[in-house]
Amino acid sequence: MPFEGSCHCGTVRFEVDAQPPTKAVSCNCSHCRRKGFLLSFFPAEQFTLLQGQESLGSYKFNTHKIDHRFCRECGTEPFAQGANPDGTAVCAINLRCVPSIDLDTLELQRFDGAKA
């Protein structure tokens, strides 16, 4: 059952062709900690940008391997694009941008990105 998400203003909308996740990664790196992300990772082919390509900005930091995509209108970062260690393309979905997911029911998996 696919699920949809968006930025705050609705300019950027996306769909993930997968079951809504029950787990989320909570990372403490300088970027995730400041923005409060709860992330779930999906193969890139399961991700479809429905609208807003022209409004997306890009932010890369540290190793520049992850393309953090944000709406230039409202500043929200609904997803990021990168690759798994084996090189396969992946999308990291900011579950805080998916209204149908009850964040309080997610099993949190802590990742120590501050030391990675």
Range of the domain at 60: 3-111
Q: Does some domain include residue 106?
A: yes
Residue 76's CB is within 10 A of a number of other CB atoms, namely 20
Identify the three-state secondary structure at position 96: helix
Number of structural domains (the chain) is 1
Q: Does some domain include residue 44?
A: yes
Q: Does some domain include residue 41?
A: yes
pLDDT in 10s for each residue of the chain, 116 residues: 899 999 999 999 999 999 999 999 999 988 889 999 999 999 999 999 999 999 999 998 877 788 999 999 999 999 999 998 899 999 999 999 999 999 999 999 998 888 86
Q: Which residues pair with 49 in a beta bridge?
A: 14
Residue 48 maps to which CATH number?
2.170.150.70
Write the CB contacts of 79 (distance below 8 Å, at least 6 apart in sequence).
Answer: 5, 14, 47, 69, 91, 92, 93, 94, 97
Q: Does some domain include residue 116?
A: no
Please give the pLDDT value at position 116. 66
Q: Does some domain include residue 56?
A: yes
This model's pTM is above 0.85:
yes
Please give the pLDDT value at position 111. 87
C-alpha 65/C-alpha 53 separation (Å) is: 20
